[in-house]
Structure 1
Amino acid sequence: MESITVVGGGLAGLTAAIVCAESGARVRLLEAHRTLGGRARTTGAPYVAHEGPHVFYSDGPFWDWLAACDLIGAHTAVPLRGLAGFRFRHGGRLRRTPPAVLLPVLTRRSRPAPADLDFHTWIRERHGAATATALSNLAGVFAFDADPGRLSAAFVWPRLLRVFTANPAARYVTGGWSALIDRLAAHARALGVRIETGVRVSELPAPPVIVATSLDAAATLIGSPLPRVESGRTALLDVAVRAAPGDAFVVSDLDEAGWLERFTLPDPSLAPAGESLIQAQLPLRPGESKADGLARLEALVDQALPGWRTRLTWRRDAVAHRRTGALDLPGHTWRDRPAIARGGGVFLAGDQVAAPGLLSEVSFHSAVTAARLALALRSTVPG
């Protein structure tokens, strides 16, 4: 029987491989790195830091699929004590409650948003410029863009409502996403998937083939350009500090679209006992250097974690470039992103292709669609 090859061992690649194998296909998964995970990789213990945000949303299809496959493992919701640790930076100051300019908008949750108008303009026309700017920067938690207000209103609005619901659906997988990757890989192997790491693919394998890599790598592999998509670029800072009372759990930066989260509050296993592991990100402005972005980001950390520099036990910083999924500009929707089916038995999967969802859910939807199309193609080949 025809086999299916999956190139890329991140969330999308592993999901596609599992869906194919569950239908009885022979599957071979090739990963260029020595370890699986893609952008879900983490640093090694004792400080388990991720390359970006690492929560799932329990009201989404990816979570339901993981639960049906018994792959979620130990996890936690937003801890009750964490709700008291939310902070908002607005007007250069930290505050414990959302500024009044946000409340009239977030309480009107049923309104539809247009796809052909930018979010800032849509809000400004109804609630004024101050509300539009603060609400746009609130979207930094999922957009990772220096100006989220420029994005399609239909892209920003439903995501804001979903993330900032009264009953948070965010879920933290204990041990970080690397623990989830390990479970996905073990499940794939149990289904017969042949996983090969440290294999850099330079020529497109025989179809059916699912390419679950970055768009740049995918374009090189398939030998044709792909439509460009907007994607976030941020200064990223991970720090571990000796824990102290009063440290914020989450800070949403309504001034500059930044974000900070103390991930050891819901999952203490990510750092040694008595220490807190915090990740902060701030979108880089056009042409801004890493050094300048980090300087602005550290100013946010100064406010969220007083005295953190004297408590520091571990640190790393980086620029996260095109690592935050696709962002839709006015006049565009997810359907305008690179299509999953590329012709000739080649399919794309990942967080920047034509599939709906929030963050990792785009990877999930595209992976499932790519797997089903590959299975359908395989079934038409005489064998």
Structure 2
Amino acid sequence: MGGGLAGLTAAIACAEGGAAVVLHEAHHTLGGRARSTATPYVANDGTHVFYSDGLPWRWLDERGLVRPYAPLRPGHLARARFRRGGRLTGRPPAGLLRMILRRGLKAPVDEDFGSWATRRFGAEAARAAAGLLGVVTYDADPGRLSAAFAWERIQRVFALRYPSVRYVIGGWGRVIDRMAARARDLGVRVETGSRVDRLPEGRVIVATSLDAARGLLGDDSLRWESGRAVLLDLAVRADPRDLFLVSDLDEGGFLERYSLPDPSLAPAGESLVQMEMPMRPGEPKAVALGRLERIADLALPGWRGRVTWRRDAVAAGRSGALDLPGTSWRDRPAVERGDGVWLTGDQVAAPGLLAEVSINSALAAARAALASRSLSRRAA
């Protein structure tokens, strides 16, 4: 139930294991938050990249679902900057650099990241790291999160090695199209526009948001902390002065001209830019957009006169799980719900970074469903 990244992963894995699978998707198109807009401006629903150093990428790549792709290149990184003190710089604070270079250090689960990082690396480095984490948490105050949760993301995403970031040519919508085609080739019956308000008989994998899962499963405990951010997509006429990436150490914002590694995403002579700014508690959308546009002013000179396409949105509870002090991924809503029902998605009890949680949880659910007896106790 659900035709996003988790639902399609589960459907493929179950069908590969010999199960007869029906996939229900309430919308008329598949993809969920992995959808992309149609040409000529191919924008993802939020900041999307794959990381090639984990199981989810390997699983997708083995099935030919993420090629061709473009990696980050040294020339791209040469056009990356940090926003610090309201200005752009090519160098992070020395304390933040020491933090990024530190390997083998374990952070505690039961202490907040701000306190732990300040004690280990100093207040300036801790504040800068919190800004760096805005793009992967969608949270205005990452210092409040579990130190172990935040530290894992710093070590994984920002380590100074050749980046494992991969951009699928044509956007994430291409991945969804390939996943849907593979599912159908395996015999999965894909039903779009199929809104289901109660669990069908048999083994069921629920691959919806936690909000929808609460209603389907009648379980109000299916809740977890998530982020809230404003998103801005811009298409601008190309200018050689435009930067590729800005990481905002002041406020946690982020800008990426992601048509640079994949020019197919925008018409010739134009650039496609995606921006994100975590929203403060109670902050109106217009105010958060204003803060985000100040980053565009620095990274894209004269952008307001070059805009050819624009859209903005608020992403609330759509950015994956955030683990507070004293919790880890193991404490999130369990994949196994009992009676032949499993729950998947980016906020459940599975490891990984952002969308990787969806894939890992879907694979775990598929393995369990295939291993279960032919009929659940509920169906029997």
Query: TM bucket by the smaller chain?
Result: over 0.9
Q: Identify which of 268, 287, 291 aligns with 2:286.
A: 291
1:244-276 superposed Cα distances (whole Å, 9 cap, x missing partner): 112111110000111111110111111101100
Q: Distance in 1 between matches of 2:95 and 2:240?
A: 29
Q: Distance in 1 between matches of 2:261 and 2:142?
A: 28
> Deviations along 1:15-54, whole A, 9 cap, x unmatched?
0000100011000000011110000011111011111121
Are residues 1:229 and 2:220 paired?
no
Which residue, 122, 128, 137 being the options, matches 2:122?
A: 128
- Whether 2:98 is the aligned partner of 1:82: answer no
Deviation track 1:62-81 (CA, whole Å, cap 9, x = no partner) reads 11111211222210100221
CA contact (8 A) 2:203 2:376 kept: no
Residues 150-200 of structure 1 show CA distances to partners (whole Å, capped at 9, x for unaligned) of: 111100112111111221000000000000000000000000000010111
- The reply on whether 1:199 has 2:194 as its aligned counterpart is yes
Residue aligned with 1:325, SS: strand
Name 1:305's counterpart in structure 2: 300
Q: In structure 1, how many angstroms separate the alpha carbons of the residues matched to 2:323 and 2:103?
A: 21
CA distance in 2, matches of 1:381, 1:307: 61
Alignment correspondent of 1:103:
97
**Which moved further from structure 2: 199-208 or 23-32?**
199-208
Q: TM-score, normalised by structure 2?
A: 0.97
- The answer as to 2:177 corresponding to 1:170 is no
1:381, distance to aligned residue in structure 2 (A) = 6.4
What is the distance in 1 between the residues matched to 2:289 and 2:279? 9
Distance in 1 between residues matched to 2:360 and 2:125, nearest whole Å: 33
- Of 312, 316, 326, 1:317 maps to 312
* Bigger shift: residues 123-132 or 238-247: 123-132
Q: CA deviation at 1:374?
A: 1.3
Distance 1:226 1:137 in 2: 31
Instruction: Check the 8 A contact 1:79/1:265 in 2, yes or no.
Output: no
Matches within 5 A, 1:353-368: 353-368=348-363
Other-structure match for 1:4? none
Give matches, 1:237-316, under 5 Å.
Answer: 237-316=232-311
Sequence identity of aligned pairs in percent? 63
Q: Does 1:157 align with 2:140?
A: no
Shift of 1:304: 1.2
**1:91 and 2:85 equivalent?**
yes
Q: CA RMSD in A?
A: 1.3
TM-score (ref. length: structure 1): 0.96
**Out of 340, 343, 362, which is 1:348 matched to?**
343
Structure 1 residue 380, shift from structure 2 partner: 6.3
Q: Give 1:23's aligned residue.
A: 17
Count of matched residue positions in the alignment of Structure 1 and Structure 2: 377
Residues 200, 219 of structure 1: alpha-carbon distance in 2 compared, 3 angstrom cutoff = same
Contact 1:20 1:372 in 2 (8 A): yes
Matched, 1:333 2:315: no
Provide the rounded CA distance (Å) in 1 between the counterparts of 2:335 and 2:296. 40
2: distance between equivalents of 1:217 and 1:350? 11
Contact kept in structure 1, 2:237 and 2:306, CA below 8 Å: yes
How far apart, in 2, do the equivalents of 1:142 and 1:354 lie?
18
**Structure 1 Cα separation of the partners of residues 255 and 271 of structure 2:** 13
Name the CA distance, whole Å, in 1 between partners of 2:90 and 2:119: 28
Superposed displacement of residue 221, structure 1: 1.0
Match of 1:324, SS state, is strand
Q: In 1, Cα distance between the equivalents of 2:68 and 2:250? A: 35
Asked if the contact 1:215–1:226 (Cα under 8 Å) also holds between the matched residues in 2, the reply is no
**Distance in 1 between the 2:126 and 2:218 partners?**
42
State the one-letter code of the partner of 2:304.
R
**Deviations 1:87-117 (CA, angstroms, capped at 9, x unpaired):** 1001111112222231222221211110011
Q: Does 1:214 align with 2:209?
A: yes
Q: Is the 8 A contact 1:234 1:282 kept in 2?
A: yes
- Kept in 1, the 8 Å contact 2:202–2:375? The answer is no
Task: Kindly indicate whether residue 109 of structure 2 is the aligned counterpart of residue 115 of structure 1.
Answer: yes
Structure 1: segments with no counterpart, 5+ residues:
1-6
Query: Partners in 2 of 1:12 and 1:127 — Cα distance?
Result: 37
Counterpart pick for 2:26 among 27, 32, 35: 32
Amino acid paired to 2:32? G
CA distance in 2, matches of 1:235, 1:138: 16
